[in-house]
Amino acid sequence: MRWRVASSGLAIAVLSIGLLAAGTEGAFATGNRTTHKKQATTGRADPIGDARCIEQGKSYIWVEALGTCFNPGGYLWVEGYANGYTDYPSGADKIYGIGTLGLTLKTTTGLGFGGPLKTAADIRFQLRTADPYGGGPPEFQVEPQTLTASWGGVTVGYGTSMFDFYANANIEGTDPTTIGDSTSLPFVAFTAPIPGGFSATLSLEQGNYRSGGIAPADADTSAVFGQNAAMPDLVAALGQTTSWGRYQVSGALHKVVINGSPDFAGSNPSTWGFAVQGGVMIALPMIADKDSLYLQTAYVDGATTYLGLVDPSGDFAPPDAYYSPTGGFSRVTGWNVTAQYLHNWTPTLNSAFFGGYADFKLNDVLAEATYGASGAGNFNFGANLVWSPNSNTKLLAQYIYNYYGAQDYVDTTNGLPAASQDAHDLLLMAQYAF
């Protein structure tokens, strides 16, 4: 029996916002997908003669009829993966591929009051031959990455959580497998600039994207608890950009509610979880131009998805909490630490070296006895080598190793299937931005 259970939530029709849903320029691209943000201007008429797009950059085009600066672009990715883990299912694909066409659009429209309206969209059209650490058949997918709009400090739409900082920066590919939170979801946020390079953000973020689930404390029972995720998570962040880098501290409040099945006589049991995180990025030009170091750590209590655990088989992922009718809720607690160093060997060749460790505890005597563990530890490390022969093209190789181990493991009837799990992931990738 797996620790994670299915959770339910309230879906928000984000796509109805359409391409007018966007955000501050490039701010909400997912951390490991920044590569396509380099836009080629070759073959495009140079619009720099119009001062109305000077602030946006050379790749923006002024459209008189709309009074708007436009920056259309896109990217092509071809990825080949080879992965597997301990006791890998015989029917699953160890080797699979992904082809991606990504289309991007940024706009800036001056409104005369409250500042400009900025929008951004990034939508991927993907054909994949299998799921990560899984099987086929081939499947075509449309995957929005960013659909946001911002004006007067308010941003609404779909993009990277305001909780995130490191968010797998400089880690390549569609299917990254590294510790640390990197989540895209619907949100409404307000960001206020503060003198000295500071900024403060408050964000309401759709709760079902953060639902870790609620599991019965007794693994041998037939009870199944759904999780009501109607209440959004409340996220706050404070950061500063300086001459030497930037840093951010963030926190989140997360409501854990049983959705009413089984019947609790009109009163659904609930509790509050939370997560806190701090991260720093230090520029290291004294080593090489554009070198940087990321350091980040987080602590969670009843909000396990904020840990960013890597669980290829799905057998080791913990719920937000365990529940029993007599003992009530027991929230799962955990912490993580991640680090990454980006080094530029030459102007066209760079590498990212990264690693992380996460640990969590069940905090429930009955759950520990019936699931066969008191908690688990998860660590991984990896590196990539990226060659950029020009500003539009990248060729790269990346390897990631992941280990998941139960603590105080005991083989039980309906508990964890194994004491530990090793996983390997190799990526070969070509990228072209236009």
pLDDT digit string, tens, across residues 267-293: 688 999 999 999 999 999 999 999 999
- 360 CB contacts (<8 Å, ≥6 apart)? 300, 304, 307, 309, 318, 332, 333, 334, 335, 375, 376
d(CA 341, CA 330) in angstroms, rounded, equals 37
Rg over alpha carbons for the chain, rounded to the nearest Å, is: 23
Continuous H helices in 71-179: none
Element (H, E) at 282: strand 270-283
177-193 mean pLDDT: 94
d(CA 374, CA 378) in angstroms, rounded, equals 14
- DSSP type of residue 332: -
357-385 mean pLDDT: 96
d(CA 283, CA 242) in angstroms, rounded, equals 10
Burial of 46: CB neighbours in 10 Å, binned 0-12, 13-18, 19+: exposed
d(CA 315, CA 273) in angstroms, rounded, equals 22
Element (H, E) at 369: helix 365-371
> Does the structural domain 14-433 have CATH classification 2.40.160.10?
yes
| 367 phi/psi in degrees, rounded to 5 | -65, -40
Q: Please, which pLDDT band fits residue 59 given cuts at 50, 70 and 90? A: confident
Collapsing DSSP to helix, strand or coil, 352 comes out as strand
Amino acid at 290: K
pLDDT at 321: 96
161-181 mean pLDDT: 93
- Per residue in 117-169, pLDDT (tens digit) is 999 999 999 999 998 888 778 999 999 999 999 999 999 999 999 999 999 99
Q: Please, which pLDDT band fits residue 357 given cuts at 50, 70 and 90? A: very high
- Is the CB of residue 114 less than 8 Å from the CB of residue 152? yes
d(CA 386, CA 428) in angstroms, rounded, equals 10
Distance of CA 428 to the CA centre of its chain: 21
Q: Strand (E) positions, 206-269?
A: 214-216, 233-242, 245-257
d(CA 252, CA 276) in angstroms, rounded, equals 6
d(CA 184, CA 203) in angstroms, rounded, equals 13
d(CA 28, CA 184) in angstroms, rounded, equals 9
Report domain extents, the chain: 14-433
26-31 mean pLDDT: 34
Q: How far is CA 254 from CA 216, 227, 235, 305, 371, in A?
A: 19, 12, 9, 10, 25
The mean of the pLDDT values for the chain is: 87
pLDDT at 30: 33
Collapsing DSSP to helix, strand or coil, 427 comes out as strand
